[in-house]
Structure 1
């Protein structure tokens, strides 16, 4: 894609995977598995990795585990792909601590989710993000996912935050396509689709790419959507997006968190994953069989 003033260079690449955090059978952090998975994802088309996000089970990993994961993945991928570390919490002070630790561990950027549970008003949301961005020397990707946090980053708040020199990107799970386009039209924020069904629609109106849970499973297939669009073959891009719909729905909209379904299928494929940590519970055999069937149909297509 030709970069123009309206389409700034992707700060973290285009095709980003929201990587799971592999655990051993006993539930400990599996750094060797994380390195093998990260290498596979980059080799198969991911040009950026997001660690310790929702898919990475960040609520149940310790601060030390988060830093160890960044260091291990950095060792595995070197400079082949940017690493964005999830550091968002409901506590501004703790978020700042995690952002500083991520930088020391080797992250290239931080993903900061809206503070959850306490439901802060918009001026407090804005101050939270500014405080984190001021404290850390790393570029910041805002994470707008009101369905989980209970609080939206309203478009007007996003417009003000876009003026901060280190707030450069958004992972968009707002399901407000109009609001997203309003911000796209008035800022140079790099917008990444956080919901796989929006990969092509958001890219077509000026988005930067995606941060995808499903990319843990089919990195090449999702990247091909962007590649086809960039090549000017919009009809092929649409077909590829449509072909991915069954696996996207099975993984993300089947009544289970994406972490559960992705880890279940990765385990079935004998790829690094391991168990989920409580309170999450493993998928049933029937669910795994359905996921595997959808996966095989997409691979065959």
Structure 2
């Protein structure tokens, strides 16, 4: 394992103004809040950043703004997924040119039926790898593309830049355990995902880090730190504190939870999500806040 690739690396939400335009000042505040929460790295333009609701021009604006604003304070991951290999490569090159540390990419897919086969997936990741920036492979159900452990290990061994793996498929702990066992030193950064809803099991399986939302980074980080220190009882208790909030986020809210918490704490001014996403139901939002308040997370007081 690479000690550079451990800890908590949240996804930054993309704030919008009430009219649906980008809130660029709010974006800077989001990044500062995540850093103040103790993030070890930050990922932008991911699914929880609403990447599929953002134009190509806006992607470039956000990439430039985020990398310039963070200015090396923490490591930065830029998501570059696209069905077209040429576009994924161009996105990776831009991220590298602007100073990103890592790019994250899902296997090629478009809709429910266009999915890259193992050869096409390998070729796309190899092409992005040729850009010369470390790659995190995102293994998530959204793509509908199966990434079996032997394929992941093959890419880790043969594509120099494939170093990190965000595993958020069903039975993620089993897959992480097999990936680490079969890949050995080639698996430099095995990560948990999916908001940390399986975090404890994934850490037990050997995950060195987690890519959660940006909602309660300061509350989840102790789980990872205590587990790494060998304090299993402490890690279990720390996870128990946050488990209900994470469950509500993952099953009821998705990325809207982080925005709601950041509005509640004065980080951003609006929790607007672009259509066709619906706003959180008031009852769902209310339950979220009541689950967060006893945790006393920084997000609820950062901007007050």
Between stretches 241-250 and 291-300, larger displacement belongs to 291-300
Give the Cα separation in 2 of the matches to 1:120 and 1:80: 36
Match for residue 59 of structure 2 among 42, 52, 66: 66
Superposed CA offset, 1:129-182 (max 9, x none): 112112x2211000000x211112111110100111101101111223323211
- Counterpart residue number, 2:249: 251
TM-score by length of 1: 0.90
Q: Show the 5 A alignment for 1:10-159.
A: 10-11=4-5, 13-116=6-109, 117=111, 118-134=114-130, 136-145=131-140, 147-159=141-153
Report SS of the residue matched to 1:244. helix
Would you say the 8 A contact 2:7–2:225 is kept in 1? no
Say whether residues 1:290 and 2:287 are aligned partners. Answer: yes
Say whether residues 1:9 and 2:3 are aligned partners. Answer: yes
Give the Cα separation in 2 of the matches to 1:22 and 1:106: 22
Would you say the 8 A contact 2:256–2:271 is kept in 1? no
- Counterpart residue number, 2:228: 230
Report SS of the residue matched to 1:106. coil
Report SS of the residue matched to 2:272. coil
Give the Cα separation in 2 of the matches to 1:205 and 1:261: 28
Give the Cα separation in 2 of the matches to 1:227 and 1:148: 29
Aligned length: 287
- Counterpart residue number, 2:260: 264
Give the Cα separation in 1 of the matches to 2:244 and 2:281: 19
Between stretches 231-240 and 291-300, larger displacement belongs to 291-300
Would you say the 8 A contact 1:152–1:174 is kept in 2? no
Give the Cα separation in 1 of the matches to 2:174 and 2:204: 14
Structure 1 runs of 4+ aligned residues shifted over 6 Å read none
Superposed CA offset, 1:93-113 (max 9, x none): 211111112222321110001
TM-score by length of 2: 0.89
Gaps of 5+ in 1: 1-6
What displacement does 1:193 show? Answer: 0.4
Say whether residues 1:203 and 2:203 are aligned partners. Answer: yes
What displacement does 1:244 show? Answer: 1.0
Q: Show the 5 A alignment for 1:151-230.
A: 151-163=145-157, 164-176=159-171, 177-187=173-183, 188=185, 189=187, 190-195=189-194, 196-213=196-213, 216-230=214-228
